[in-house]
Amino acid sequence: MPAADREKWDAKYRARGETIFPPSPFVLSVLDRLPTTGRCLDVAGGTGRNARPLAAHGLDVTLADVSPAGLEIAEREAREAGVAIRTLEHDVETDGLPEGPWDVLVQVRFLHRPLFTQYAAVLAPGGLFVLDHPTRTNLERHERPSGHWLLEDGELPELLVAHAPELEVLEYEEGWGEDKRHSARLLARRYP
In whole angstroms, give the CA distance from residue 49 to residue 22. Answer: 6
- Give the confidence band of 34 by pLDDT, cuts at 50, 70, 90: very high
Residue 139: how many CB atoms within 10 A of its CB?
15
Q: With contact defined as beta carbons under 8 Å apart, do 112 and 95 qualify?
A: no
- Domain borders along the chain are 25-190
The dihedrals phi and psi of 178, each to the nearest 5 degrees, come to -60, -30
In whole angstroms, give the CA distance from residue 187 to residue 179. Answer: 18
- Give the confidence band of 135 by pLDDT, cuts at 50, 70, 90: very high
> Beta 182-190 vs 167-176: how paired, if at all?
antiparallel
Residue 24: how many CB atoms within 10 A of its CB?
25
Q: With contact defined as beta carbons under 8 Å apart, do 67 and 10 qualify?
A: yes
pLDDT at residue 29 above 70? yes
Find the angle CA(166)-CA(172)-CA(103) to the nearest 5 degrees. Answer: 50
Per DSSP, what are the bridge partners of residue 151? Answer: 135
**Which pTM value belongs to this model?**
0.91
Q: With contact defined as beta carbons under 8 Å apart, do 71 and 87 qualify?
A: yes
pLDDT at residue 1 above 60? no
- The SS3 of residue 105 is strand
Beta strands in the chain (DSSP E): 39-43, 60-65, 85-89, 102-108, 123-134, 167-176, 182-190
pLDDT digit string (tens) for 95-123? 999 999 999 999 999 999 999 999 999 99
Class of the 25-190 domain?
A: alpha beta
In whole angstroms, give the CA distance from residue 57 to residue 55. Answer: 5
pLDDT digit string (tens) for 3-20? 666 666 556 666 666 666
DSSP letter (8 states) at residue 13: H
